[in-house]
Amino acid sequence: MAELSVSMRAYCKLLLHAAKYPHCAVNGVLLAEDTKGKEHKSLKIVDCIPLFHITLGLAPMLEVALLQIDAFCRSKGYVIGGYYQANENYDDLQLNHIARTIGRKVNQNFPEACLFMIDNRRVSPDAVSEVYKVYSLQKNNWKELDNKRTVDEDTLMAACTLLKSEAFRKLLDYDNHLDDIKHDWRNPEVNDEITRCT
């Protein structure tokens, strides 16, 4: 697996998505810098797009969302480089069928892709380490990676500040966009708030 780093924007948005819907399973995709043609293999997750909180595995909605996100990525020089999910049950950290299937699809298009499983028990302003476990696809199986730090202290502090200020109330996922297309799934307002935390 390539060296992995997660930006403040990506980390905070996936955390806010899980915090906004603590009673639901949530998922989204992780956007990475496109490393095609570059010698040094590192996976830099630069943003995330929250997808769903109602039904995670509905194929038609997922396909539409991924097509729009892919077009957005091409315009920014990004690729869909990963997938994240928080299960509905507070104590459930297992990779279920949905996580494995969507993760595998992302991996088919970007072989360095990873999968993040969010630990709901750690979605708190008091969290002192990453709230997820990271997996990579190796020999057709998802393997948990070593517990290396993927974010810095400043990112953890910004996430804490955003949770305390309830910034998750402003976060919009693709389900919100499908309810009202004026809701921008790219979350410019939340992105600005995260930038102000730096």
pLDDT in tens, 173-182: 999 999 999 9
What is the overall mean pLDDT for the chain?
93
Nearest to 114 by CA among 123, 106, 125: 106
pTM, entire model: 0.95
For 61-80, how does the pLDDT look when each residue is reduced to its tens digit (9 = 90+)?
Answer: 999 999 999 999 999 999 99
Q: Pick from 128, 158, 168, 167: which is nearest to 7 by CA?
A: 158
- Domains for the chain: give ranges and CATH numbers: 3-196 (3.40.140.10)
